[in-house]
């Protein structure tokens, strides 16, 4: 039955028939220990000499497989007109069929396979990028590993979706683990997966997950770390590096659904944040964050929907102060405007969480000119078998 995307494990490396064309897992021929060493070295090289006190050994996973809690599949048709689903071949718009994957959640892959198999009998045509005809473009599956809740997002080119009720019923019958189904409408021609409009077809329209003892609501478009096992280690290290004592005024910048700030505010009284101000650009994520604060009974966290740079500039202009700053920007890193204003708020410590060691290095140099020196850097392997590496670094104000 399974003809494509075969995967297998063997000691010292892995087999994946899609390895070359997919291009995501570039480290499949290495042992896991070799990967961790490479990532540590990559962080060290990206940061260069003298910028940080020390790069620590990379924190790895015990079982580095099927860690991705979010799987996105592109739908297309093969030469014979049969629906296929998978990923774009590196740098192209050619869809590479994927049935199973070493790093993706196995249930998510199964659900995507079931949907592909249902299309013909429901007469749902796959969207064609050239003619711009057809219905189904992408399927996104997200699973809360701690709660078991599963969200399926069906991304269609227009609101048209014939017999959607029966389709959802049939899907739920095959996979009763699914807790919510959302139709998202994306008529755009760029490469973004989700459009602005959506409607809930089943369930609540979001899932929940538990991280570091807090429960988080996650909407389809909100950012949520894709490897929850490693995220707990990352947040625990980040909060440890902040040395909170229960009195600090804390800023959580680029906060997403509020994870870091809420976890920092929910620690035991003598080791938590006294007050948290959190800022995030995506309005859906900010809405999730506010619900998450209530859901966890945390009253001393306020969320702001704004560009983080603008927010910091305003804070600085108003003469506000902060004791600790957590910052977790996207791959492109932060901005000079953000960092300059951050320094004006005078935090004793800055904890920088980065998914790109290169922009981390660039930003740490800026912080140095502003009087903040980087101490230990902890690489955390959030993306085994791929080249990507996350790292957390604590900076302190020069006296």
Kind plus residue range of the DSSP H or E element containing 308 = helix 308-317
Q: Does 99 bind ligand SAH (CB under 6 A)?
A: no
2: closest CA among 120, 99, 105, 115? 99
Min dist CB 214 to ligand SAH, Å, is 12
**Binding test (CB under 6 A) with ligand SAH, winner from 59, 115, 181, 255:** 255
SS3 call for 160: coil
Q: Does 330 bind ligand SAH (CB under 6 A)?
A: yes
Within 10 angstroms of residue 101's Cβ, the number of other Cβ atoms is 23
Torsion over CA of 257, 336, 38 and 212, rounded to 10 degrees?
-20
Ranges of beta strands (E only) in the chain are 7-10, 13-16, 52-55, 70-77, 83-88, 95-97, 136-143, 150-156, 178-185, 197-202, 207-211, 214-218, 249-253, 275-280, 301-305, 324-327, 349-354, 372-380, 390-397
Binding segment (CB under 6 A) for ligand SAH, from list 174-182, 251-259, 314-322, 386-394: 251-259
Catalytic site residues? Answer: 355
Q: Does 280 bind ligand SAH (CB under 6 A)?
A: yes
**Binding test (CB under 6 A) with ligand SAH, winner from 86, 144, 203, 256:** 256
Binding segment (CB under 6 A) for ligand SAH, from list 34-42, 94-102, 175-183, 274-282: 274-282
Pairwise CA distance, residues 339 & 347, whole Å: 11
**Binding test (CB under 6 A) with ligand SAH, winner from 328, 363, 381, 390:** 328
The residue number with the shortest CB distance to ligand SAH is 256
**Binding test (CB under 6 A) with ligand SAH, winner from 260, 273, 325, 380:** 260
Strand duo 214-218 + 207-211: pairing:
antiparallel
Q: Does 282 bind ligand SAH (CB under 6 A)?
A: yes
Q: Which residues contact 118 (CB under 8 A, 6 or more apart)?
A: 124, 167, 170, 171
Size of residue set near ligand SAH by CB under 6 A = 17
Binding segment (CB under 6 A) for ligand SAH, from list 174-182, 201-209, 255-263, 342-350: 255-263
Dmax (CA) of the chain: 70
Q: Does 352 bind ligand SAH (CB under 6 A)?
A: no
CA angle 282, 284, 286 (to 5 degrees): 70
Q: Does 285 bind ligand SAH (CB under 6 A)?
A: yes
Helix axes 357-369 and 32-47, enclosed angle (nearest 10): 30
Write each residue from 216 to 245 as x if it is in contact with ligand SAH (CB under 6 A), else as -, in one continuous string: -------xxx--------------------
Min dist CB 234 to ligand SAH, Å, is 8
Pairwise CA distance, residues 180 & 146, whole Å: 16
Q: Does 339 bind ligand SAH (CB under 6 A)?
A: no
Min dist CB 335 to ligand SAH, Å, is 8
Binding site for ligand SAH (CB under 6 A): 223-225, 254-256, 259-260, 279-282, 285, 307-308, 328, 330
């Amino acid at each position: 039955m399974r003809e494509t995307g075969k995967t297998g494990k063997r000691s010292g490396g892995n087999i994946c028939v899609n390895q070359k064309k997919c291009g995501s897992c570039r480290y499949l021929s290495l042992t896991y220990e070799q990967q961790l060493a490479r990532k540590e070295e990559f962080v060290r090289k990206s940061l260069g000499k003298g910028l940080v006190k020390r790069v620590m050994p990379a924190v790895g996973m015990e079982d580095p497989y099927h860690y991705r809690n979010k799987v996105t599949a592109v739908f297309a048709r093969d030469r014979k007109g049969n629906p296929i689903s998978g990923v774009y071949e590196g740098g192209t718009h050619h869809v590479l069929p994927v049935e199973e994957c070493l790093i993706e959640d196995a249930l998510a892959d199964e659900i995507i396979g079931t949907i592909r198999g249902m299309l013909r009998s429901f007469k749902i045509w796959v969207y064609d990028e050239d003619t711009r005809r057809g219905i189904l473009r992408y399927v996104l599956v997200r699973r809360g590993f701690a709660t078991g809740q599963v969200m399926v997002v069906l991304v269609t080119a227009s609101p048209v979706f014939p017999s959607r009720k029966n389709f959802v019923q049939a899907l739920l019958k095959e996979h009763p683990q699914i807790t919510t189904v959302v139709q998202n409408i994306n008529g755009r021609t760029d490469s973004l997966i989700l459009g602005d409009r959506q409607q809930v077809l089943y369930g609540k329209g979001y899932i929940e997950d538990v991280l570091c003892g807090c429960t988080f609501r996650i909407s389809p478009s909100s950012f949520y770390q894709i490897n929850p096992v490693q995220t707990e280690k990352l947040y625990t290290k980040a909060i440890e590096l902040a040395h909170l004592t229960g009195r600090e005024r804390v800023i959580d910048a680029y906060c997403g659904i509020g994870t870091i700030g809420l976890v920092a505010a929910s620690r035991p009284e003598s080791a938590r944040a006294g007050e948290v101000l959190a800022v995030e650009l995506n309005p859906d994520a900010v809405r999730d964050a506010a619900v998450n604060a209530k859901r966890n009974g945390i009253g001393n966290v306020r969320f702001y929907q704004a560009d983080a740079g603008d927010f910091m500039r305003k804070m600085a202009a108003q003469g506000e102060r902060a004791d600790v700053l957590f910052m977790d920007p996207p791959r492109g890193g932060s901005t000079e405007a953000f960092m300059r204003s951050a320094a004006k708020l005078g935090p004793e410590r800055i904890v920088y969480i980065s998914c790109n060691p290169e922009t981390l290095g660039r930003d740490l140099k800026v912080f140095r000119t502003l009087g903040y020196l980087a101490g230990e850097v902890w690489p955390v392997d959030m993306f085994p078998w791929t080249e990507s590496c996350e790292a957390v670094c604590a900076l302190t104000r020069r006296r």
